[in-house]
């Protein structure tokens, strides 16, 4: 061991390595590939990266250490670690820096679980008109009477037989052209991109080809392997965005890139590309094809994911006036990005609307086709960032709203992503205040359920919406969101911080060994998120001169599991009949698939991106007022009972 490096061991995984002194435990975990929750990107803001320094077990592992092997306790840690935990050896991984060897234990709640990725492809009717098409031709051999070159021989035949004019050829195809033509005895199939460029040449007659549609979400990346012949999705693969360890939300990653100007951006990009290539390897393996049999690719993502993927400095989209590097769609050779499909192919990256309304939203719009409809729709895409579009064939306005990550489970004391152990559905009996809840199970567990059901670890997005709605219906909170402290139930109690909390799951129902409860501060976060959506929607509607919409479309994995009635109840969306609310799942991914299978939709996407008006909410004078008003839970009919809502059941 050199004097500059110390040994670190992470339990329970057992990963270990020698790390430079002075690095934080979080940085060490990133270097060793140990996933610690770091929602805030290591800023000491979220308190999610609590770890336990295990002194007692050092000797067993041949490591000599003590708490002195870490830098001193930081004030920031006081906020998240109480005296008891402190005595047990808890630290924040982002605050404690290495001075000597340490053994670190990750409590379950600090581990990043594999998210239950609910990004299955929707069944859709997509008119098949792919950008890459296959054309089979039989050529006459060159002779002394007709010694025309191979490329001209091929393209003249493609023009004659298939009407393709002025074709060019990618350099890497040209290299092998003479050998392929002769090996194939002059019977070949050309893959042509956009009627312009030959990007693959197969010996003989080939009819099947493949395309890949990718949705790069802040948290989840989904890839759909589609037949370009039938349009059918043959295989789907998802992964956590590997950048999650550099910060859970868009702003944390922008900050990470800014704070590490030497390699931060490159590191995030490389890990994403490498993850994409892993997914591609799995998909082609499952389909029994080769990577270079994938001839076309489309990609959507929010503006930050777009920039980071392209290694474009995302700093400027993170600060006013939020100008992106480019709006229009891009066609980039996959080899220039290091993506391991056919090297002559292009990846088509959908256009961006604005600094915070990205290609994912354009994907949603070509999937939902607002621009072709008479009825006015509200489309809400709640991912780690929230985007709203309201409009119809006449006019469309979009906005980005700073929902914060609450609706995805972050910044909520017991919040978590939609992973096994997450409470996804909650009901509270208004009489007894008893709570029943449903926990997301591991697929393997759900096949062999334990007698007492799955244990809870935290609350995910759909559960969080339920919390607010059920609290209100059961009279646990006022319309303002404040707890009714007079309620007679042991669930409502004062916690260690002196604040009030309501217990959703008792210790024995939980896998963490602690009660799972919702605090007054948590309720405030949920209110902020739902108010941002509501206020943003209201401002767009006012700009459009309307006071109602004909349909509400909720996109995003989150939307799939949301209870429409609860969403209406808490006042996240404007009043509408519940049957006019549609959850469409991963519409951004659907948009990527549509653009993959129909080239006209790519043009439509470019048209939409230019056409949608962007409303910058932060500069709208009325926004603050609307937002404050929307924090309250509204007085209107309870969508469950159709009865007037109680102002104050418990009083």
Query: H or E element: which one contains 282?
Result: helix 264-287
Provide DSSP, 165-184.
Answer: -S-EE-HHHHHHHHHHHHHT
- Site for a second copy contains 160 (CB under 8 A): no
The three-class DSSP label of residue 150 is: helix
Complex with a second copy: residue 308 or 370, whichever CB lies closer = 308
Give the residue, chosen from 273, 332, 521, 629, that forms a contact with a second copy under the rule CB under 8 A: 332
Convert residues 275-314 into a mask of x (bound to a second copy by CB under 8 A) and - (unbound).
Answer: -----------------------------------xxxx-
Q: Please state the φ and ψ torsions of residue 303, each to the nearest 5 degrees.
A: -60, -35
CA distances to 59, 233, 378, 546 from 539, in Å: 63, 39, 12, 10
Complex with a second copy: residue 73 or 322, whichever CB lies closer = 322
Complex with a second copy: residue 198 or 631, whichever CB lies closer = 198
- Site for a second copy contains 520 (CB under 8 A): no
- Site for a second copy contains 338 (CB under 8 A): no
Question: Which DSSP symbol is given to 141?
Answer: P
Give the residue, chosen from 12, 22, 204, 321, that forms a contact with a second copy under the rule CB under 8 A: 321
- Site for a second copy contains 262 (CB under 8 A): no
Q: How far is the CB of 331 from a second copy (least distance, A)?
A: 9
Give the residue, chosen from 16, 48, 91, 153, that forms a contact with a second copy under the rule CB under 8 A: 153
Two structure tokens written together for 35? 């996933």
List CB contacts of 410: < 8 A, sequence separation 6 or more.
Answer: 39, 46, 48, 248, 249, 404
SS (H, E, C) 221-244: EEEEEEECCCCCEEEEEEEECHHH
Q: How far is the CB of 43 from a second copy (least distance, A)?
A: 24
- Site for a second copy contains 442 (CB under 8 A): no
- Site for a second copy contains 143 (CB under 8 A): yes
- Site for a second copy contains 195 (CB under 8 A): no
Within the chain, how many helices (H) and strands (E) appear? 18, 27
Q: How far is the CB of 320 from a second copy (least distance, A)?
A: 6
Tell which residue, 287, 163, 310, has the closest CA to residue 234. Answer: 287
- Site for a second copy contains 619 (CB under 8 A): yes
d(CA 255, CA 264) in angstroms, rounded, equals 10
Stretch that binds a second copy, among 45-53, 59-67, 285-293, 328-336 (CB under 8 A): 328-336
Complex with a second copy: residue 6 or 362, whichever CB lies closer = 362
Cα distance between the two ends of the chain: 67
- Site for a second copy contains 142 (CB under 8 A): yes
d(CA 229, CA 636) in angstroms, rounded, equals 51
Residues 556-615 contacting a second copy, CB under 8 A: 614
Tell which residue, 437, 596, 610, 630, has the closest CA to residue 528. Answer: 630
Q: How far is the CB of 349 from a second copy (least distance, A)?
A: 10
The answer to whether 423 touches 464, Cβ cutoff 8 Å, is no
- Site for a second copy contains 1 (CB under 8 A): no
Question: Which DSSP symbol is given to 550?
Answer: S
Q: How far is the CB of 361 from a second copy (least distance, A)?
A: 15
The answer to whether 419 touches 433, Cβ cutoff 8 Å, is no
Complex with a second copy: residue 119 or 306, whichever CB lies closer = 306
Site for a second copy, rule CB under 8 A: 142-144, 146-153, 169, 171-172, 174-175, 177-179, 182, 310-313, 315-316, 320-328, 330, 332-333, 336-337, 352, 354-355, 614, 616, 618-619
């Amino acid at each position: 061991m050199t004097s500059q490096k110390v040994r670190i061991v992470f339990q329970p995984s057992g990963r270990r390595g020698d790390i430079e002194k002075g690095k934080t435990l979080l940085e060490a975990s990133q270097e060793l590939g140990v996933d610690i929750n770091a929602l805030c990107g290591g800023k000491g803001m979220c308190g999610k990266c609590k770890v336990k320094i295990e002194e007692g077990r050092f000797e067993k592992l041949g490591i000599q250490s003590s708490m002195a092997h870490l830098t001193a306790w930081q004030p920031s840690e006081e906020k998240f670690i109480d005296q008891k935990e402190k005595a047990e050896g808890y630290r924040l991984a982002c605050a404690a820096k290495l001075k000597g060897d340490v053994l670190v234990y990750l409590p379950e709640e600090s581990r990043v679980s594999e998210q239950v990725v609910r990004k299955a492809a929707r069944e859709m009717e997509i008119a098949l008109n792919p950008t890459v098409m296959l054309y089979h031709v039989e050529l006459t051999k060159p002779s002394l009477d007709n010694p025309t070159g191979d490329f001209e021989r091929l393209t003249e035949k493609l023009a004659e037989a298939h009407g393709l004019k002025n074709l060019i050829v990618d350099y890497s195809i040209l290299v092998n052209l003479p050998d392929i033509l002769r090996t194939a005895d002059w019977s070949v199939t050309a893959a042509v991109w956009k009627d312009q460029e030959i990007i693959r040449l197969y010996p003989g007659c080939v009819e099947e080809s493949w395309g890949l549609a990718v949705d790069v979400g802040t948290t989840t990346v989904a890839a759909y392997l589609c037949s370009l012949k039938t349009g059918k999705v043959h295989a789907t693969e998802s992964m956590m965005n590997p950048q999650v360890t550099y910060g859970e939300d868009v702003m944390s990653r922008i900050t990470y890139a800014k704070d590490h100007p030497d390699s931060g951006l490159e590191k995030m990009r490389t890990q994403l590309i490498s993850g994409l290539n892993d997914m591609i390897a799995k998909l082609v393996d499952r389909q029994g094809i080769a990577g270079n049999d994938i001839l076309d690719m489309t990609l959507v993502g929010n503006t930050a994911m777009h920039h980071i993927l392209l290694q474009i400095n995302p700093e400027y989209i993170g600060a006013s006036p939020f100008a992106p590097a480019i709006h229009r769609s891009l066609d980039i050779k996959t080899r220039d990005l290091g993506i391991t499909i056919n090297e002559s192919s292009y990846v088509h990256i959908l256009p961006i609307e604005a600094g915070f309304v990205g290609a994912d939203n354009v994907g949603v719009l070509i999937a939902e086709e607002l621009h072709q409809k008479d009825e006015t729709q509200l489309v809400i895409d709640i991912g780690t960032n929230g985007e709203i579009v309201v409009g119809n064939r006449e006019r469309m306005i979009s906005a980005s709203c700073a929902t914060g990550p609450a609706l995805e489970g972050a910044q909520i004391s017991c919040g978590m992503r939609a992973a096994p152990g997450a409470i996804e559905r909650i009901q509270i009996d208004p009489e007894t205040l008893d709570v029943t809840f449903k926990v997301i199970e591991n697929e393997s567990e759900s096949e062999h359920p334990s007698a007492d059901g799955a244990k809870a670890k935290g609350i995910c997005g759909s559960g969080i919406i339920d919390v607010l709605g059920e609290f209100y219906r059961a009279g646990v909170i006022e319309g303002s969101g404040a707890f009714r402290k007079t309620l007679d139930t042991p669930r409502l109690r004062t916690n260690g911080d002196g604040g009030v909390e309501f217990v959703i799951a008792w210790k024995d129902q939980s896998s963490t060994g602690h009660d799972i409860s919702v605090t007054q501060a948590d309720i405030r976060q949920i209110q902020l998120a739902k108010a941002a959506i509501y206020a943003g929607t209201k401002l767009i509607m006012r700009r459009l001169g309307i006071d109602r919409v004909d349909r509400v479309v909720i996109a995003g994995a989150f939307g799939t599991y949301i209870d429409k009635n609860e969403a209406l109840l808490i006042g996240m969306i404007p009043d509408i009949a519940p049957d006019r609310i549609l959850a469409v799942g991963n519409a951004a991914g659907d948009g990527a698939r549509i653009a993959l299978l129909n080239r006209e939709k790519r043009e439509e996407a470019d048209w939409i991106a230019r056409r949608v008006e962007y409303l910058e909410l932060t500069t709208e004078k009325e926004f603050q007022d609307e937002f404050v008003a929307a924090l309250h839970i509204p007085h209107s009919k309870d969508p469950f009972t159709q009865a007037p809502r109680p102002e104050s059941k418990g009083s």
